[in-house]
Amino acid sequence: MAIIPGEEILLGQSFIKVKYGDNEEAIFNPWCSTYTLLEWIRKTCKCGHGITIDLIDLEGHVRNLSTGIEEYANDLLHGRETYILIRVERESESGPNRYISLLNNLEQSNPELMVKLNNLSRPTTRKKDRDRQKKNNHNHSSRSIKGHRQESPTKRPTSSERHNKHTK
Protein backbone atom coordinates (compact mmCIF):
# COMPACT_ATOMS: atom_id res chain seq x y z
CA MET A 1 0.00 0.00 0.00
CA ALA A 2 1.47 3.31 -1.06
CA ILE A 3 1.29 6.25 1.29
CA ILE A 4 0.55 9.56 -0.36
CA PRO A 5 2.79 12.37 0.95
CA GLY A 6 1.02 14.08 3.83
CA GLU A 7 -1.37 11.15 4.35
CA GLU A 8 0.54 9.96 7.43
CA ILE A 9 -0.13 13.37 8.99
CA LEU A 10 -3.86 12.98 8.32
CA LEU A 11 -3.85 9.48 9.76
CA GLY A 12 -2.05 10.66 12.91
CA GLN A 13 -4.49 13.52 13.38
CA SER A 14 -7.59 11.36 13.21
CA PHE A 15 -7.13 9.48 16.48
CA ILE A 16 -8.34 10.62 19.89
CA LYS A 17 -7.04 9.73 23.34
CA VAL A 18 -9.52 8.78 26.09
CA LYS A 19 -8.45 8.80 29.75
CA TYR A 20 -10.30 6.63 32.28
CA GLY A 21 -9.87 4.44 35.36
CA ASP A 22 -6.61 4.66 37.29
CA ASN A 23 -4.96 7.07 34.83
CA GLU A 24 -5.36 4.61 31.95
CA GLU A 25 -5.46 5.79 28.33
CA ALA A 26 -6.83 4.30 25.14
CA ILE A 27 -6.64 5.53 21.55
CA PHE A 28 -9.69 5.46 19.28
CA ASN A 29 -10.42 6.32 15.66
CA PRO A 30 -13.41 8.71 15.50
CA TRP A 31 -14.02 8.11 11.77
CA CYS A 32 -17.13 6.03 12.50
CA SER A 33 -20.64 6.57 13.83
CA THR A 34 -20.89 7.83 17.39
CA TYR A 35 -22.74 4.61 18.25
CA THR A 36 -19.81 2.48 17.04
CA LEU A 37 -17.27 4.67 18.83
CA LEU A 38 -19.22 4.55 22.09
CA GLU A 39 -19.48 0.76 21.87
CA TRP A 40 -15.70 0.44 21.34
CA ILE A 41 -15.05 2.82 24.24
CA ARG A 42 -17.51 0.86 26.40
CA LYS A 43 -15.76 -2.44 25.54
CA THR A 44 -12.18 -1.16 25.86
CA CYS A 45 -12.77 0.80 29.07
CA LYS A 46 -14.89 -1.99 30.60
CA CYS A 47 -18.08 0.06 31.06
CA GLY A 48 -21.31 -1.84 31.58
CA HIS A 49 -24.24 -1.51 29.19
CA GLY A 50 -26.44 -0.23 32.02
CA ILE A 51 -24.76 3.19 32.12
CA THR A 52 -24.70 6.09 29.68
CA ILE A 53 -21.19 7.22 28.80
CA ASP A 54 -19.87 10.30 27.05
CA LEU A 55 -16.68 12.30 26.67
CA ILE A 56 -15.68 15.71 27.98
CA ASP A 57 -12.79 17.68 26.50
CA LEU A 58 -10.13 19.33 28.65
CA GLU A 59 -11.89 22.69 28.27
CA GLY A 60 -15.00 21.31 29.98
CA HIS A 61 -17.29 20.78 26.98
CA VAL A 62 -19.39 17.63 27.07
CA ARG A 63 -19.43 16.15 23.55
CA ASN A 64 -22.98 14.67 23.81
CA LEU A 65 -22.11 11.66 21.67
CA SER A 66 -25.15 9.66 22.75
CA THR A 67 -27.61 12.23 21.36
CA GLY A 68 -26.52 11.77 17.74
CA ILE A 69 -25.75 8.07 17.44
CA GLU A 70 -26.04 8.10 13.64
CA GLU A 71 -23.66 11.04 13.19
CA TYR A 72 -20.00 10.56 12.49
CA ALA A 73 -18.00 10.95 15.68
CA ASN A 74 -15.32 12.96 13.88
CA ASP A 75 -17.93 15.74 13.43
CA LEU A 76 -18.13 16.06 17.23
CA LEU A 77 -14.53 15.25 18.20
CA HIS A 78 -11.18 16.67 17.13
CA GLY A 79 -8.29 14.41 16.18
CA ARG A 80 -5.23 14.34 18.45
CA GLU A 81 -7.30 15.66 21.36
CA THR A 82 -7.52 14.12 24.81
CA TYR A 83 -10.93 13.43 26.32
CA ILE A 84 -12.05 12.22 29.72
CA LEU A 85 -14.58 9.39 29.92
CA ILE A 86 -17.65 10.37 31.95
CA ARG A 87 -20.84 8.70 33.11
CA VAL A 88 -24.11 10.53 32.49
CA GLU A 89 -26.91 10.11 35.00
CA ARG A 90 -30.31 11.48 34.10
CA GLU A 91 -32.41 12.60 37.08
CA SER A 92 -35.61 12.48 35.02
CA GLU A 93 -36.75 12.87 31.40
CA SER A 94 -36.85 16.66 31.67
CA GLY A 95 -34.38 17.10 34.53
CA PRO A 96 -30.72 18.02 34.30
CA ASN A 97 -27.94 15.52 33.71
CA ARG A 98 -25.36 14.67 36.34
CA TYR A 99 -21.83 14.04 35.04
CA ILE A 100 -19.38 11.77 36.87
CA SER A 101 -15.76 11.37 35.83
CA LEU A 102 -14.65 7.81 35.12
CA LEU A 103 -11.04 8.96 35.51
CA ASN A 104 -10.46 8.19 39.18
CA ASN A 105 -8.01 10.98 40.02
CA LEU A 106 -9.48 13.88 38.06
CA GLU A 107 -9.67 16.13 41.13
CA GLN A 108 -5.86 15.80 41.54
CA SER A 109 -4.79 15.70 37.89
CA ASN A 110 -7.09 18.48 36.62
CA PRO A 111 -8.95 20.27 39.44
CA GLU A 112 -10.24 23.01 37.11
CA LEU A 113 -11.93 20.43 34.89
CA MET A 114 -13.42 18.74 37.95
CA VAL A 115 -14.95 22.08 39.03
CA LYS A 116 -16.39 22.58 35.52
CA LEU A 117 -17.81 19.05 35.54
CA ASN A 118 -19.43 19.66 38.93
CA ASN A 119 -20.87 22.98 37.71
CA LEU A 120 -22.39 21.23 34.69
CA SER A 121 -24.10 18.82 37.08
CA ARG A 122 -25.87 21.56 39.05
CA PRO A 123 -29.64 21.35 38.64
CA THR A 124 -30.14 25.13 38.52
CA THR A 125 -28.12 28.27 38.78
CA ARG A 126 -28.58 30.95 41.40
CA LYS A 127 -29.89 33.38 38.78
CA LYS A 128 -32.68 31.00 37.79
CA ASP A 129 -33.61 30.60 41.47
CA ARG A 130 -33.73 34.39 41.94
CA ASP A 131 -35.89 34.81 38.83
CA ARG A 132 -38.26 32.09 40.04
CA GLN A 133 -38.53 33.74 43.49
CA LYS A 134 -39.29 37.13 41.94
CA LYS A 135 -42.00 35.58 39.79
CA ASN A 136 -43.53 33.77 42.78
CA ASN A 137 -43.47 36.91 44.93
CA HIS A 138 -45.14 38.88 42.14
CA ASN A 139 -47.85 36.24 41.70
CA HIS A 140 -48.57 36.11 45.45
CA SER A 141 -48.84 39.89 45.82
CA SER A 142 -51.34 40.27 42.97
CA ARG A 143 -53.72 37.53 44.17
CA SER A 144 -56.87 38.30 46.09
CA ILE A 145 -57.68 36.71 49.43
CA LYS A 146 -61.34 35.68 50.00
CA GLY A 147 -62.61 38.33 47.61
CA HIS A 148 -60.52 41.11 49.17
CA ARG A 149 -57.78 42.67 47.21
CA GLN A 150 -54.36 42.65 48.82
CA GLU A 151 -52.95 46.09 49.38
CA SER A 152 -49.76 47.25 47.83
CA PRO A 153 -46.97 48.07 50.30
CA THR A 154 -46.61 51.47 48.57
CA LYS A 155 -50.33 52.34 48.75
CA ARG A 156 -51.15 55.70 50.27
CA PRO A 157 -53.31 55.52 53.41
CA THR A 158 -56.98 56.47 53.09
CA SER A 159 -58.44 59.35 55.09
CA SER A 160 -59.97 56.97 57.64
CA GLU A 161 -56.61 55.20 58.05
CA ARG A 162 -54.89 58.55 58.60
CA HIS A 163 -57.60 59.56 61.10
CA ASN A 164 -57.22 56.27 63.07
CA LYS A 165 -53.46 56.72 63.18
CA HIS A 166 -53.76 60.22 64.68
CA THR A 167 -56.36 59.23 67.31
CA LYS A 168 -54.27 56.41 68.79
Cut 0.85: pTM above it: no
Least confident of 11-25, 42-56, 113-127: 113-127
Q: What percent of the chain has pLDDT over 70?
A: 65
Comparing 162 with 53, the larger pLDDT belongs to: 53
What's the pLDDT score for residue 72? 92
3-class state of residue 148 by DSSP? strand
